[in-house]
Structure 1
Amino acid sequence: ESKTFPLAFPEDYHGKDVAGKTADFLVTVKKIEAANLPEVNDALAKSLGIADGTVAGLRADIKTNLEREVKFRLLARNKAAVMEALLAKAELDLPNASVQAEIDRLKEGARADLKQRGVKDADKAEIPDDIFRAQAERRVRLGLVVAELVRANNLQAKPEQLKAHIDELAASYEKPEDVVRWYFGDRQRLAEVEAVVIESNVAEFVLGQAKVTNKAVSFDELMGGQG
């Protein structure tokens, strides 16, 4: 089936010959596909690797994974709210060297992203400092505030907290023990987990000191984003 319809190009369209003009487009439908959902039965459960191979086991597994994801999303929202509150109260003179170092890290990250996207000579791309200055200042400011809270209130990540967090991350994988070894086998990965645990400790500490207002959030809103 074919259909022709008019489409107006914007005035600032990059193709000057058609900018501001209307053209007729012919579209031909070659194929229409629809999802063919499988029947929910024990065979499906077995194919998905459910341990007991039953629909009940499949439902229990889905429920566990959803509960885990809801927990992570709620923690992330609360943590973000705490960090925003800390930033709002923080009035600090930021060390220029720290800000510049953070700008440089952000620029290197941007170059790496461009390179991954196939941009030629991405590692030589000239990126003005000002593009990342506000973000760098925010990161440095928050880092200083968090570091002081950790120091003053003994909020460092404890070994048992690291283990518990990694176990929770690994629980959704087919072979959790391999994931646990993967985290503990690399100092950089372990440092990333440590940073997350420290942020959680800070958030829990601040929430314990603050006047908190509970807000009901729908499942769709929670799963739709962190904001």
Structure 2
Amino acid sequence: MDVSVENPGGLARKLKVQIPAERVSAAVDAKVKRVGQHAKIPGFRPGKAPIKVLYQRYGDQARQEAAGELIQSVYPEALEKAELNPAGQPQIELGEFHAGQPLEFTASFDVYPEIELKGLDSIEVEKPVTEVTDADIDKTIERIREQNKTFEATDRESQDGDQVVVDYVGRIDGEAFEGGTGNDIEVNLGEQQFLPDLERALVGRKADEQFDVDVSFPDDYGAKDLAGKTATFDVTVKTVSEPKLAEIDQAFLQQMGIEDGDIDELKVKVRESLEQEAKHAVDTKVKTEVMESLHASNPIEVPQSMVAQEIDRMRKEAMQRMPKEMQGNEEQMKALMPDEALQEQAERRVAMGLLIAEVIANKELELDQERVSKKMEDIASGYGDQAEQVKQYYQQNPQLMQGLQAMVMEEQVVDTLLEGATITEKDTELDELLNANRDNG
């Protein structure tokens, strides 16, 4: 078997293989004879047809099947002979294939980059140090009350924070347009979820008030037939309601998971939750800085075949977060998230995966099964009475378990790199820490 390698550039490789004619002929003969054992050919008893007749009837099919099987069996041998380690599946191109001739094929693929880790002993990390205060707890409880607020009708003029219910009809050049009519539409003033000109015009209004307002659609508005145009809206304000924060009563406490208790018990629960969230935010920031330092010290070229797979994975992850009517529409997702928009992030993800794998090999790390079990317990505990069912679900789902194990191994890598890192502590306000973590989440 002859094997040669071409390097078109970067990590791309072309492996050219020639299988000797004798080996090909032997494989085709075996295939033809195997078919002939059960072939029913007029004029011959089963299994008794001459080889020449079998070749006339089944030769082309046998050659194609034998070629596929030969390529599949020879490919690993050729890789070993060429001392190549492909990243992903190859693209196989079959050369001309004639009876009695050698079989030639070309396998195109990327190889893994050679990585020589650097900078592992010069990692610097700024670790946030924070404390959950009584003021943080009170602020969180107020935020929970705000999230559970209700609205009560009022006779005064509307202001930011109020909710107004409106009917409206929009017209361009005196003609109503599609999508420009709404009835009983709730608008929370100040949340900027409505057309800016229209929302501003709703401030200072009372119930049962009617008015007209000109609204300019931005040039990049989603509906192209409206982009850059000005419409006149006839608006009727039906109600104006002011916000009322949720009362801290028994029903509110039960909603927070406190069956028998008072506000003091709520504060204890909020403190525990904030401390857990703060710990997670600190761990996340430290991990991010460690990984960024590892990546910065070890810039590597990444296999584009792996990048393409990562782009596909990122789209599928995004699709799962989309409304149900958009899920499964891959063409629409490709239009919303083209390859070039995901390229940089996908390359970074692939690079980090390769660097993490190299650290694992370099430091001879092994997965800590006790840590995996502890991680599963922590995740399951967040589901209360359903904890045991959640653990069973993980144990019965190989894909979930692999994700959990990868998460733990990544934590082990971070811990290992932190052993040689320079760590400085920085006093940080809780809100600053949590907001930064939520923005990066």
- Same fold flag (TM > 0.5): yes
Q: How does 1:31-46 map to 2 (within 5 A)?
A: 31-41=239-249, 44-46=252-254
Distance (Å, rounded) in 1 between the aligned partners of 2:216 and 2:331: 39
CA spacing shift, 1:131–1:215, aligned 2, 3 Å: same
Deviation at 1:145, TM superposition (A): 0.5
Q: How does 1:90-169 map to 2 (within 5 A)?
A: 90-109=298-317, 112-113=319-320, 116-119=323-326, 122-125=329-332, 127=334, 129-169=339-379
**Deviation larger for 76-85 or 138-147:** 76-85
Distance (Å, rounded) in 2 between the aligned partners of 1:54 and 1:121: 47
Q: How does 1:22-101 map to 2 (within 5 A)?
A: 22-41=230-249, 44-46=252-254, 48-50=256-258, 52-101=260-309
Aligned to 2:428: 217
The one-letter amino acid paired with 1:188 is Q
**Deviation larger for 167-176 or 76-85:** 167-176
Deviation at 1:144, TM superposition (A): 0.7
Aligned to 2:406: 195
Gaps of 5+ in 2: 1-208
SS of equivalent to 2:215: strand
**Deviation larger for 125-134 or 139-148:** 125-134
Distance (Å, rounded) in 2 between the aligned partners of 1:47 and 1:114: 26
The one-letter amino acid paired with 1:194 is Q
Residues 320 and 327, structure 2, Cα contact 8 Å, conserved in 1 = no
Tell whether 2:423 aligns with 1:206: no
SS of equivalent to 1:30: strand
**Deviation larger for 120-129 or 186-195:** 120-129
SS of equivalent to 1:184: helix
Larger Rg: 2
SS of equivalent to 2:225: coil
1:138-174: CA deviation from partner (whole Å, max 9, x where unpaired): 1111101001112222444312111222222233332
SS of equivalent to 1:32: strand
SS of equivalent to 1:213: strand
Residues 183 and 189, structure 1, Cα contact 8 Å, conserved in 2 = yes
Q: Larger helix proportion, structure 1 or 2?
A: 1
CA spacing shift, 1:90–1:63, aligned 2, 3 Å: same
Deviation at 1:46, TM superposition (A): 4.2
Distance (Å, rounded) in 2 between the aligned partners of 1:52 and 1:121: 46
CA spacing shift, 1:219–1:78, aligned 2, 3 Å: same
Distance (Å, rounded) in 1 between the aligned partners of 2:347 and 2:376: 30
Deviation at 1:125, TM superposition (A): 4.9
Distance (Å, rounded) in 2 between the aligned partners of 1:22 and 1:106: 38
Residues 315 and 333, structure 2, Cα contact 8 Å, conserved in 1 = no
1:182-225: CA deviation from partner (whole Å, max 9, x where unpaired): 33332222222222222222222222312223233322222224
Distance (Å, rounded) in 2 between the aligned partners of 1:56 and 1:102: 48
TM-score, normalising length: structure 2:
0.44
CA spacing shift, 1:31–1:77, aligned 2, 3 Å: farther
Distance (Å, rounded) in 2 between the aligned partners of 1:27 and 1:157: 64
Residues 103 and 133, structure 1, Cα contact 8 Å, conserved in 2 = yes
TM-score, normalising length: structure 1:
0.79
1:17-39: CA deviation from partner (whole Å, max 9, x where unpaired): x73x5544343332334444444
Residues 103 and 136, structure 1, Cα contact 8 Å, conserved in 2 = yes
Residues 51 and 57, structure 1, Cα contact 8 Å, conserved in 2 = no
CA spacing shift, 1:124–1:5, aligned 2, 3 Å: closer
CA spacing shift, 1:4–1:140, aligned 2, 3 Å: same
Distance (Å, rounded) in 2 between the aligned partners of 1:152 and 1:113: 36
Residues 43 and 53, structure 1, Cα contact 8 Å, conserved in 2 = no
SS of equivalent to 2:235: strand
Distance (Å, rounded) in 1 between the aligned partners of 2:237 and 2:403: 48
Aligned to 1:178: 389
Q: Larger strand proportion, structure 1 or 2?
A: 2
CA spacing shift, 1:205–1:45, aligned 2, 3 Å: same
Residues 356 and 413, structure 2, Cα contact 8 Å, conserved in 1 = yes
Greater relative contact order (Cα < 8 A, sep 6+): 2
Q: Percent identity?
A: 31
Residues 115 and 122, structure 1, Cα contact 8 Å, conserved in 2 = no
